[in-house]
Structure 1
Amino acid sequence: MLPTSSQLCRWRGVADSNGPVCPFSGDASGSGEKHWHQVMGSKAWAQPGRPEPRFHRCGRFSCSNLGPSVCHTRTVSGGPQHIALVCWGFPPFRGSGAFRPLAIANALAASGAEVSVVTANREVFLTHYGADVSLEALVDPRVEILRIPFFPDRSWPLVNDWSAAEAAAGRAGNTNNDPAHLIFPELVYSDWLPRVSRELVALNARKPISLVLGTGAPYIDLEAASQLYLEQGIPLVLDDRDCSIFDVYSGKQSSLQAKREVFFRDWIENCSEMWFVNPPIADRVREIFPQSADKVHVVENGWDRSAVDPARVATQPSERIKAAYVGLVATKFPLEDVIEAWHRVAESDDAVEPLRFIGALGFEVNSPRWQKAAGIIAAAPHSEWRGHVPRADLPEEYADLDVLVFVKEGGQFVTGGKPYEYAATGLPIVALVDEESDALRVLGNYPRLYQASPDDPVAAADALRAAIEDRRSDDGAKLYVAQEFGAQLSRAAKLDEAVGRVLEIAKS
């Protein structure tokens, strides 16, 4: 379905005698300075006395006032469907947000589609957000990867990319984190939108796109995909994962998320489907947008064979029990409480190894928060940080463990990716989560689950002891039964149906 004339573009330019200004064209028409405002009701910035422009279409090839007609007719050949996947975080990005788009791209390619991934440049991950180059070997060779330059903020370390003025000011004047100057209501990522929008239009001209799929966070991915629908009338599927319009940890909406809801209303109206990672988030969105409830789908995460090999997990316990937390130590991670719980266990049990923390200590490598977390772990007598482990080496790490510690902040809207991965191992799992955590929906029937509140080190220590005794009594049968449970939580099992729907929408 093509967009109507009232949907052609959510942005208006400020016209002068030479025509409208296009915010995505890279330069202004005539001598007028670029100003934009969001059509859906937000404040307009314009020079006094300038006439109000008509809606216009913005693209690499044209930017002109239009009536109800559409500039670029969508024509797709009878060959394989061409799916454009917009995702800022893609290998070699090592964050957990890269695994879902990687799996989507590979599943689409395996189904016979031509896949073009539009993502950020490698350098931003290698130097700033953390990279795992072993992930690049997991990308299906049939997938085309288009890398669009992304410049985060004043901490961007490649000084050669700074302007002279930024270098002189220590880049303090950067506006990516200034809500008053965002072209899309999302900190850090906003400035990426024009470059991605232009690339998508060019890609469609070079190789007509059958469907565009945006997956985020960051949510700029969803807006860029939506812009292509508005620009070219290309079918749209959006993977909003943890939901862009409210905080899944608090259930509340920030001022920035409230501004983003203006865009979200457009997204859910225009897309063919919108995906979320768990039922509670999907139900909340259906309540807010009942008219679009049929478009809302739950596409859960799952475990990947690149991360876990159940066959390699030992049927018998180690002589000294090895326990670990595998994953990101995020901002609200109760690090000191977890360390205290394990300290209680280790002080009364000589046959346990130090608790291992395997993974990154924050979103930005060697940030002050990262260094603080590293110091806390180093100072603890019964804990150690193993650092980030490349994805290719993760199966070996899991195979060497006896007990897995799952910690995730948040309640009913928060699941996390590790419950699926942990369950695949068949090992005892200690879930230090709130009783309302959606992770317990996933793990609730897992036969080797031990749950306690992360805020209660005594109860957490008791849960850890129970899991240790479970592992020490392992005879292989318990491991097998638990792995049978975990097998049904694979990402492939969760994704197959969704990929099938995407291909059907693309054919239509």
Structure 2
Amino acid sequence: MSKNILFIAYYFPPDSSSGAFRPLHFARHLHNMGTNVSVLTAREQDYLSGHSKDEKLFQTIPKQVAIFRSRVYRPKELLIHFRNWLRCTFRQAGIIGNSSDNTMSSQVEKRDSFFQKIKDFITDFLSIPDTNVGWLPSALNKGLCIIRERHIDVIYATGGPWTCLLIGAILKKFTGKPLILDFRDPWVTNPYFLLRSPIIQSFETLLERKVIKIADHVIANTEELRQNFLQRYPELGDNMVTTIPNGFDEYIDMPLTKNKRLTFTHAGSLYFSRNPRFLLQAIVNLVDNKIIPKGDLRFVFLGSFHIEDPLLAPLLKHPTLQDIVELLPQVSYQEAVAYQSRSDVLLLIQPDFPLQVPRKLYEYLAFRKPILGITDAHGATATIIRDNQLGLVVENRTSELEQSLQIIYGQWKKGTLDADVRNLEKYEKFTNKHLTRELLNISDIIVNKRFS
């Protein structure tokens, strides 16, 4: 008998952001394995401005996968509208004037500063656990209808946004249906979480504990995150937490021609601590010291830079780098694939996130090319690269990057650069089809346990 599963996934096509692809691949392969999949997601018209979309992704979803959408309310936007209405009302009533008097201006500034602090606190409070919490009311209502009408056997909620996990936990409380929580990233152990106020951190830590306690099974997308859960929640037990990493769908054909220059490619934007400055400095040092000829190197960066580092911009203008480094804007998926397939080495910059593995790493696996991972030596990303012999791992320090580049260059000159990545067997466990079987196995176990 076919199983009926409900996905709670805020990110889902036409959304084309990173978080949309894991539930997309799971939904497609589960359908192919005989499972009836229903997806509850956000309305397209409620996406925030600038949200990445790709209508072509709909072509990859089987028609039998039922997609339901519900409204997202935006508490922050409602607050801003209320503030503007309040100011307008006060001005019309003469409570706030337009005087240019310095004393009056000072008083207004102090009042605005006071109101700003109140607004910031309320905005933060209304963003617990994230800015998409306004989806929760309509998603609960729609979710209850789907569970009843489509005879759902199991609920799968993927986060972030963490609102999805809250929705899943509440639906389980209302219906008694078994719940699988999928953490694509850490929640309260995420470096970004430390930017939240202490009060918000305490509240969200409590929320994470609550939803995990309600869940029948927890999925972590790295082994490091799984161990972190078991350490913080020893009551879970080994059999209640499973590691299912991200993956890739199918191998990409490689061109047979060899590059005249050793070519590295980084696909995607760089931001926060993903700073290439130390790598660029290592290139300058190697070339200026005549260790590697300038004409033998090429580095391609696809996507924008959003890095607050005053030393980066001047370095990018360094004369040595002008014929080596290519900075290109974001390109289409097909163009990005072409650049990566023509590369010798795929570049990954992921420091300061020891529990996380970027989806980019799994996308790179489809090319079967060596990866240079600039990341924490003992983090989750480094573990996958090392344990599966996918390339080199190096800390984000200039001296170590120089050594790694010399090693890669030497292998390239000898024609042995791809010797460790030719074995296809190591990649099979990262295919989305294989990973979906693991999810299906978990759902079978918790559903059968409920009826045993």
In structure 2, give the amino acid aligned to 1:147: R
| 1:287 and 2:217 aligned | no
Indicate yes or no: 2:292 matched with 1:351: no
SS of residue paired to 1:97: helix
Match of 1:142 among 64, 68, 92: 64
Specify the alignment match of 2:260 in structure 1.
319
Q: Shift of the alpha carbon at 1:183?
A: 5.7
What is the CA distance between 1:213 and its match in structure 2?
A: 0.9
Q: CA 1:231/1:376 → structure 2, altered by over 3 Å: closer, same or farther?
A: farther
Conserved 8 A contact 1:245-1:264 = yes
In terms of mean alpha carbon deviation, does 479-488 or 211-220 score higher?
479-488
Contact 2:262 2:297 in 1 (8 A): yes
Distance (whole Å) between structure 1 residues aligned to residue 263 and residue 160 of structure 2: 34
Q: 2:155 aligns with which of 207, 212, 220?
A: 212
Question: Which residue in the other structure is 2:107 paired with?
Answer: none
2:35 aligned residue: 113
**337, 341, 346: which is aligned to 1:404?**
346
**1:315–1:476 contact (8 Å) kept in structure 2:** no
**Larger helix fraction of residues:** 2
Give distance in 1, aligned partners of 2:86 and 2:315: 38
Identity of aligned residues (%): 18
Q: Sort the Cα spacing of 1:286 and 1:94 in 2 relative to 1 into closer, same or farther, 3 A.
A: same
Q: Distance in 2 between matches of 1:89 and 1:229?
A: 21
Q: C-alpha displacement at 1:377, in angstroms?
A: 9.1
Matched, 1:82 2:4: yes
Alignment TM-score, normalising by the size of structure 1: 0.70
| CA deviation after TM superposition for structure 1 residue 500, in Å | 2.4
When normalised by structure 2's length, the TM-score is 0.78
1:440 aligns with 2:382: yes
The counterpart of 2:337, out of the listed 378, 395, 410, is: 395
Closer/same/farther in 2, CA of residues 477 and 333 from structure 1, 3 Å limit = closer
Amino acid at match of 2:70: I
The Cα of 1:85 is off from its aligned counterpart by 0.7
- 1:419 to 2:370 alignment: no
Residues 186 and 356, structure 2, Cα contact 8 Å, conserved in 1:
no
| Residue 386 (structure 1) aligns with | 328
The Cα of 1:235 is off from its aligned counterpart by: 1.5
> Structure 2: how far apart are the matches of 1:379 and 1:207?
59
Shift, 1:98, TM fit: 1.6
Query: Which of 441, 449, 453 pairs up with 2:391?
Result: 449
- SS at 1:291 equivalent: coil
* Superposition CA RMSD, Å: 3.8
State the shift of 1:191 in Å. Answer: 2.0
Cα displacement string for residues 212-256 of structure 1 (whole angstroms, at most 9, x for unaligned residues): 111001110000111111122222111123232322689999733
1:197 counterpart letter in structure 2: L
Structure 2 stretches of 5 or more lacking a match?
Answer: 89-114
Query: Given that residues 75 and 134 in structure 2 are in contact (C-alpha distance below 8 angstroms), is that contact kept between their aligned partners in structure 1?
Result: no
Does the 8 A contact of 1:119 with 1:148 survive in 2?
yes
Structure 2 CA distance for partners of 1:424 and 1:468, relative to 1, 3 Å: farther
Which is worse superposed, 126-135 or 210-219?
Answer: 126-135
Task: Tell me whether 1:97 sits opposite 2:26 in the alignment.
Answer: no
Q: Is the 8 A contact 1:405 1:431 kept in 2?
A: yes
Deviations 1:80-109, CA, capped at 9 Å, x for gaps: 322111111112323222221111211221
Q: Distance in 2 between matches of 1:372 and 1:150?
A: 38
- In the TM superposition, what is the alpha-carbon distance from 1:476 to its structure 2 partner? 9.4
Structure 2: distance between partners of 1:110 and 1:277: 22
Aligned to 2:203: 259
Distance 1:139 1:370, change over 3 A: farther
Quote the Cα distance in structure 1 between the aligned partners of 2:328 and 2:347. 15
Q: Gapped runs of 5+ residues in structure 1?
A: 1-78, 363-368
The CA deviation at 1:134 is: 3.3
Paired amino acid for 1:289: Y
Whole-angstrom distance in 1 between the partners of 2:357 and 2:430: 13
Matched, 1:191 2:113: no
Change (3 A) 1:375 1:150: farther
**Structure 1 residues 233 and 242: CA distance shift in structure 2, 3 A:** same
Corresponding residue for residue 98 of structure 2: none
Shift of 1:446: 4.5
Letter in 2 for 1:232: T
Q: Secondary structure at the match of 1:287?
A: helix
- Conservation of the 8 A alpha-carbon contact between 2:9 and 2:164: yes
Of 271-280 and 281-290, deviating more is 281-290
CA distance in 2, matches of 1:374, 1:153: 37
| Corresponding pairs, count | 414
> Corresponding residue for 1:465?
406
Match in the other structure for 2:102: none
